[in-house]
Amino acid sequence: MNLTSLSNKELAEIISTDKYDEELIRSADAIRREHYGTDVYIRGLIEFTNICKNDCLYCGIRCGNGNAERYRLSREDILSCCENGYELGFRTFVLQGGEDPYYTDEIICPLVSEIKSRFPDCAITLSIGEKERESYAAYKEAGADRYLLRHETANSEHYSRLHPDNMSGEHRKQCLFTLKELGYQVGSGFMVGSPYQTAENLVEDLRFLQTLEPDMIGIGPFIPHKDTPFGDSPGGTLELTLRMVAILRHLFPKALIPSTTALGTIHPLGREMGLKAGANVVMPNLSPVKVRKLYTLYDNKICTGEEAAECRGCLERRVESAGYKIVVSRGDVKR
């Protein structure tokens, strides 16, 4: 099965089908095995703040959600998460948070430098939103290796229906190209099944990614959060999300593609199914248990009560049951 030569219309037809496409899934898995075998890379996720200046209409930590209980992790908390993660075999740490004005470059850069100094064989990934070029350059100089910034949707009209007027999809895209220019390993991605989304929107997402050529592509089903304007909207489906994972693997044979927590939230075996559809990364949570329930981008998020070691062990068993194996590695993209 060769998807690389398909027209936009042909891709939209594949995306729009209702059936579980076994051939598509099977061929995507064959492609990932060709490049990565059965290896699955783990990333230690540290959700260090749920404070955000933005008011995105779909997000549970949007600044307009007055019901959210806010928190920030201290430098000591974050370093403790890294120490615990290193002992558990993690060689990539992902510092993720809302766009919290408290964490200035003067705080982020020394933190990144200290993590790099303590764990020189580890990769540091930041996922802290839209910044100016100077900030991205400073983080890179401090030791950051990767940056995750989902573009969410490549269609400007669709973007405007999901975000407040002061946010721009074009600016977000420009941030991604800036990160590439600065030498980061760059990750982007989009929501599947978000409000107002069409198959044509998803094709536009794929075409944007083909232009960007990211190292990592993270997608997951849209899951509504009760305290947002889209709280009553239907969520993205398992079938469509798996289909999009498989299509991504066909179009980006060497990309690092996570099987996300959101997939595991909408189906008990969602993450295993994501791996079988072509994903090759999982991101267990290293955050302190006391804050896990507070970083709620969407409702009913799984694994909020598990200690990091529990989460690591459980996920390892799940990955093995699906026919793959977790490896202790930085997990860099294959070139």
What pLDDT, on a 0 to 100 scale, did the predictor assign at position 174? Answer: 98
Phi-psi region of 143 (alpha: psi -120 to 50; beta: other; left: phi over 0): left
The full DSSP string for 86-144 is HHTT--EEEEEE---TTS-HHHHHHHHHHHHHH-TTSEEEEE-----HHHHHHHHHHT-
Question: For residue 105, what pLDDT band results from cuts at 50, 70 and 90?
Answer: very high
**pLDDT at residue 308 in the model:** 87
Nearest Cα neighbor of 224 from 57, 52, 58 is 58
pLDDT, average across residues 153-179: 98
Q: How large is the average pLDDT for residues 114-126?
A: 98
- pLDDT tens, 252-268? 999 999 999 999 999 99
Please compute the mean of the pLDDT values over residues 205-232 and round it to a whole number.
98
* SS3 track for 140-196: HHHCCCEEECCCECCCHHHHHHHCCCCCCHHHHHHHHHHHHHCCCEEEEEEEECCCC
Q: So what's the pLDDT on residue 288?
A: 95
Q: Is the dihedral of CA 76, 69, 136, 334 positive or negative?
A: positive
Terminal Cα-to-Cα distance of the chain (whole angstroms) = 23
When pLDDT is averaged across residues 262-284 and rounded to a whole number, the result is 97
List, in sequence order, every beta strand (DSSP E) within 215-332: 216-221, 281-282, 325-327
pLDDT of residue 51 exceeding 80, the answer is yes
CA 167 to chain centre: 20
Q: Average pLDDT of 286-306?
A: 93
Identify the weakest region by mean pLDDT among 5-9, 16-20, 85-89, 254-258.
Answer: 16-20
Task: Return the percentage of the chain with pLDDT > 90, whole number.
Answer: 94
pLDDT of residue 309: 84
Q: Is the pLDDT of residue 109 over 80?
A: yes
Is 39 in a helix, a strand, or coil?
Answer: strand
The pLDDT of residue 20 is above 80: no
- Going by C-alpha positions, the residue among 257, 255, 151 that lies closest to residue 205 is 151
18 pLDDT above the threshold of 90: no
Phi, psi (degrees; rounded to nearest 5) at 313: -65, -45
Q: Which of 47-61, 116-130, 214-228, 305-319 has the lowest mean pLDDT?
A: 305-319
Q: What is the mean pLDDT of residues 162-168?
A: 98
How crowded is residue 83: how many other Cβ atoms within 10 Å of its Cβ?
14
Mean pLDDT of 142-147: 98
Q: H or E segment at 48?
A: strand 44-49
* Average pLDDT, rounded, for the chain: 96
In the prediction, which pLDDT does 305 show? 87
Q: Is the pLDDT of residue 218 over 90?
A: yes
Q: Are 58 and 165 in contact (CB under 8 A)?
A: no
At residue 304 the predicted structure's pLDDT band, cuts being 50, 70 and 90, is confident
Per-residue confidence band for 153, with pLDDT thresholds at 50, 70 and 90: very high
Query: Per-residue pLDDT averaged across 144-157, rounded?
Result: 98
Kindly state the average pLDDT of the residues 235-251. 97
**The predicted structure's pLDDT at residue 303:** 87
* pLDDT for position 124: 98
Select from 173, 235, 204, 241 the least CA-distant residue to 20. Answer: 241
CB contact set of 259 (below 8 Å; sequence gap of 6+) = 245, 270, 271, 272, 273, 274, 275, 279, 281, 282
Rounded to whole angstroms, the Cα distance separating 87 from 309 reads 9
- Listing from the earlier edge strand, what are the strands of the sheet with 281-282? 281-282, 39-42, 325-327
Phi-psi label, residue 265: left if phi above 0, alpha if psi -120 to 50, beta otherwise = alpha
pLDDT band at 2, cuts 50/70/90? confident
Please report which residue ranges of 269-307 form alpha helices under DSSP H: 270-276, 289-292
